[in-house]
Amino acid sequence: MAKGKGFGGFPGMGGGGNMNQLLAQAQKMQKDMEKAQEEVATLTADATAGGGAVKAVVNGSHEVVSLSIDPGVVDPEDVEMLQDLVVAAINEAMRKIEEISAERMSRVTGGMGMPHF
């Protein structure tokens, strides 16, 4: 193998300089991702259903933080409608927090499609 070709004959894999730079970039990205994950965990998203009759708030850890129900929509004869409104509000809030989380993480990863938590 000719000298200067790098590790295993692959250019850029020897000499340590490029590898050190790559390692430093990876470590920075990891720290940035950890920071972004911490920030996402503190975020909240809310959504309503039934014209605002039901409101759900979720956090970046995908936990329901609060749920409010307008007493005017509580009808003992139509519990299914209330259940549907609650599910719709929670699902929409979850969708929103996932969208916010994905956007924040893509800032760190440069759109590389890396997983976020």
- 32-66: pLDDT as tens digits: 888 888 888 889 999 999 999 999 999 999 999 99
> Whats the size of the chain, residue-wise?
117
Say if residues 49 and 85 touch (Cβ distance below 8 Å). yes
Domains, the chain, ordered by start: 13-109 (3.30.1310.10)
Helices (H), the chain: 17-42, 79-109
Say if residues 110 and 30 touch (Cβ distance below 8 Å). no
User: How many of the other CB atoms lie within 10 Å of CB of 98?
Assistant: 15
Most confident of 18-22, 83-87, 101-105, 113-117: 83-87
Does residue 12 surpass a pLDDT of 90? Answer: no
Say if residues 107 and 36 touch (Cβ distance below 8 Å). yes
pTM for this model (two decimals): 0.68
- 73-108: pLDDT as tens digits: 999 999 999 999 999 999 999 999 999 988 888 888
67 backbone dihedrals φ, ψ, rounded to 5°: -145, 125
**Measured on CA atoms in the order 20, 117, 58, 41, is the torsion positive or negative?**
negative
What is the per-residue pLDDT for 69? 97
